[in-house]
A and B are shown apart, each in its own frame.
Chain A
Amino acid sequence: MNKPDLMSSHLTSRKLYAVRNFVLALLAAPTLAFAAAVPGEKAPDFSEVDAAGKSHRLADYRGQWLVLEWFNKDCPYVKKHYGSGNMQALQEKYTSRDINWLTVISSSKGKQGYLEPAQALEVAESHDLNASAPFLLDVDGSMGRAYGAKTTPHMFIINPEGQVVYAGAIDDNDSANPAVIADSANYVAAALDASMAGNAVAVASSRAYGCSVKY
């Protein structure tokens, strides 16, 4: 129970470490409620079923690049990027380079943007979705909350080591007008290009703009 042989006894230091962690957890409790995917830290785990019934877990993508995108077909900002073809072009560009891209719907039943699996398949079709899977249906919002997804669209990039590389808006212009896309700096493309080339990401976090996720 005592510390004298702390330096030599793993058991003792482990116990102390447990006490430390307990205290840390106590101190951290208020902030834990606002879990979020934070650039530079480990990506939160998830396990969701897509519209086709296939399940996806974070662990499935270990060793690979993964982009997460939050979606709500009725949100004007989602329409901005889908109506213009901007989002699909990004999806195509990066999935063709063996990057995984998952588009997530966290709208709960009865809220704007909620889709039954069959509807989701139709929307994927009508929106020319180029993601790696048909929409992930996060009906209970667990994945969205774990990531702290606030808006649609809200973008996250996870590297092969499972760390968040980018979290935030898709680009630097929060106008709802599709005409501004051509002159906007795309944060997701920039972060992917830079980090895949082994460089530092210039903007790793930004205020996600758009509609609130309808948990």
Chain B
Amino acid sequence: MGAQETASGDHVRVRWLAPQQMGASAETLGFYFEVDPGWHVYWRNAGDSGAAPRFDISGNGDVGKILWPYPERLPIEHLTNLGYAGNVAYLFDVTARMETLELAVNLEWLVCKVDCIPGFGSLTLSRPAGGGNSGSESRWNQDDLTLRNHFLARVPQPSGQSPWQVERLTRRGDLLRLSLRNTSGRHRDGQPSVFPLDGELLQASQPTLEIDGDRVHFTFSKVPGAPAAEATGFVVVDEGSAWQFDAIPIVAAPVVTAVLEEETQSFWLLVLAAFAGGVILNLMPCVFPVLSIKLFGLIDQGSGSRVKEGLLYSAGVLATFAILGGLLMVLRAGGAAVGWGFQLQSPSVVLGLIVLFWLMALSFSGVFEFGHRLMLVAGHSRGGSFVTGVLAVFVAAPCTGPFMGAALGAAAVMPAVYAMVIFLGLGAGLAAPFLLLCASPALLHRLPKPGPWMDRVRQLLAFPLYATVIWLLWVLGRMLGDTGWVIGTVLMLGLGFALWIGTSFSGSRRAKFAGYVMALLVLFTGFGTLSVPQRDALQGSPELLSGWQPFDAAAIAQARAENRAVFIDYTAAWCITCQVNKKLVLDTAPVQNMFHENDVLLIRADWTNQDSEITAALAELGRNSVPVYAWYAPGASTPELLPQILQERMIAALFE
């Protein structure tokens, strides 16, 4: 071997892996890099820093592309590199065309420990060619052949031969999630390693791993600011073999068809999310009044059976969730298009809640004594704690907080048992803080002792209830138009008068009776008027900004056909997250300007009332609760769903 057959630099020596004589057909040759211990050279995608070696090959043979043995992850301080710790052979196929194969190559490499040293060198190769193909192995030096074969076995094979097949590559914000499924039909002990081919797009660090039966999901982080790609490739390594997947299409997540499968996979995560959602529900304004009532009851009660109360409350919450979940399952099975929060789509339910909270508020203010009896229901007795739990769920439902949307969306399409577990997870989350307060002596000791101040607290607690009544009146107004709040307020007036009659003439049984009769009459009339169709005022909601149009499937389809961007705001008056997003983001001048400048068709799908078309559209997105923000980029075939908590920059990001 001549001196030109090797090259060397700091910590690296390079030589050919080649037979003594070339055959007639293609042969795999290599550059063997002997690297000092502790130092490393790089794969085709070098990772966070570093650089792949370069091979500039010329000569009289047909030279193929460089074949890169699969790498390993090399954590170097705060970075991750992709390469080889120790010796490696970079291979390529070559077919001799002449009687003598002549190759010359200019090499450049980078060898690093923590510090990096570039190396440069050139090699030449001259081999007689044209020997038959028989016994090609005998033309090799045995050691070199072993080395060549060792690294050739590490070169990725075509993806079709892989036991792992790509199910989906989804993008969620700055994360890319690759889902692989084991299709080999046999159990594989470990999980595969996956290396991204594109270092401009994805970070080299170890992706997070989720295992789910015969599926494995890898979540990679995008390089900050890297433009969105339509497709990208990976090398999958398992049990010493590797396969290369090129140009896997990237789909925006969650995608319509992906919801069922994907959400089923991460089932326990969903339960956890549901639990967290339930806990957060406690913070939601529509739950707070109920909890404040109950808390008041606890204080009043002093020591004793608080844990029991907490458990009863939890039982009430869980039972209600179970019943509502079961109801949803039944309706779903029956094919009814309903969604979460549906009970607040009924004006009678809203009116009922108005009456309930109005009476509670009046009693808290000390207008009448019936409140104490109601307090018995809502606060004191064991049945009361249970009922409080029931009540909490009922009014909490529309406050679809973060986490809830996805969990409920999944619940709607998952097998009934799973859906029920998710419902109960939500319930457990809702009940947990309260139960904790009841169970923890430390927390209980911090509760103040009962005293005269309690009356003032009780009176204070009336105000959130009044506020709740105002909100419910507003919801009713959104449902029925102007008549809605007229019905509501007249009913309140009537009830107030009936209470005055019933309580003002103390001791008079007749007065009490009259009060009851009057209250019943008022209630009967109030609810009766609801059955008269009142929906005329509904559609042209005056609140719509000029930019928003009501839901119209045909208009959406047409805009998409014209490659016009479409933004759909699935919202409802009883959905607080929706209103906050609307006020703080969607209906602000900068966002409206952005939409306007980009000629976006703005659709406000108002789900305040039951609307089968909107329910169907939501179901198609895999959701059955609001808010949902669907963005159809111009010409995009699938929508991108935005987070439930919107920020202005998320909208801005749509137009970058």
Interface residues in chain A, defined as those with a beta carbon under 8 Å from any beta carbon in chain B: 1-7, 12-13, 16-17, 19-20, 23-24, 27, 31, 34, 36-41, 74-77, 112, 148, 150-151, 164, 167-168, 174-177, 204-215
Contact = CB atoms under 8 A, between A and B. Distances in A.
23 contacts: A2-B288, A3-B285, A4-B469, A5-B467, A5-B470, A5-B471, A6-B580, A6-B583, A7-B579, A7-B583, A13-B580, A16-B285, A19-B283, A31-B174, A39-B224, A41-B225, A150-B48, A151-B48, A204-B225, A207-B223, A209-B49, A212-B114, A214-B77
B576 A6 contact: yes
A212 B79 contact: yes
Given A164-B225, A209-B51, 10 more contacts: A2-B289, A3-B285, A19-B283, A23-B402, A112-B114, A150-B49, A151-B48, A208-B49, A213-B78, A214-B77
Contacts of B474: 4
Contact of A212 (B76, B199, B224, B225): B76
Interface in B188-232: 199-200, 221, 223-227
B464 to A, nearest CB: 5
A34 B289 contact: no
Given A23-B645, A167-B225, A3 B471 contact: yes
Contacts of A13: 580, 583-584
Nearest to B200: A207
B450 interface: no
Contacts of A148: 224
B199 A4 contact: no
Contacts of A19: 283
A27 B612 CA distance: 33
A16 B576 contact: yes
Interface stretch (B116-124, B141-149, B370-378): B116-124
Contacts of B584: 13, 17
Given A20-B645, A212-B79, A205 B51 contact: no
A211 B78 CA distance: 12
Given A3-B285, A4-B474, A151 B583 contact: no
A76 B109 CA distance: 12
B285 A1 contact: yes
Contacts of B470: 4-5
Contacts of B79: 150, 212
A207 B199 contact: yes
B120 A177 contact: yes
Contact of B108 (A17, A151, A176, A204): A176
Interface in B78-135: 78-79, 108, 110, 112, 114-118, 120
A79 B46 CA distance: 20
Contacts of A37: 224
A2 B468 contact: yes
Given A3-B285, A176-B51, A205 B115 contact: no
A53 B579 CA distance: 52
Contacts of B656: 40
Question: Which of B49, B117, B221 neighbours the largest number of chain A CB atoms within 10 Å of its CB?
Answer: B49
B108 A175 contact: yes
B449 interface: no
Contact of A206 (B110, B200, B221, B467): B200
Nearest first, the 5 closest Cβ-Cβ pairs linking A and B are: A4-B471, A176-B118, A205-B225, A2-B467, A3-B285
B280 interface: yes
User: Could you say which interface size class chain B belongs to?
Assistant: 35 or more
B566 interface: no
A175 B285 contact: no
B480 interface: no
A39 B579 contact: no
Contacts of A27: 402
B286 interface: yes
Contact of B224 (A16, A205, A210): A205
Contacts of A20: 580, 645
A184 B621 CA distance: 46
A27 to B, nearest CB: 7
Contacts of B472: 4
B65 to A, nearest CB: 18
B115 A112 contact: yes
B225 A38 contact: yes
A4 B467 contact: yes
Nearest to A31: B174
A1 B467 contact: yes
Contacts of B150: none
Given A3-B286, A40-B656, A177 B468 contact: no
A6 B110 CA distance: 61
A26 to B, nearest CB: 9
Contacts of A212: 48-49, 76-79, 114, 116
Question: Which of A3, A7, A27, A36 neighbours the largest number of chain B CB atoms within 10 Å of its CB?
Answer: A3
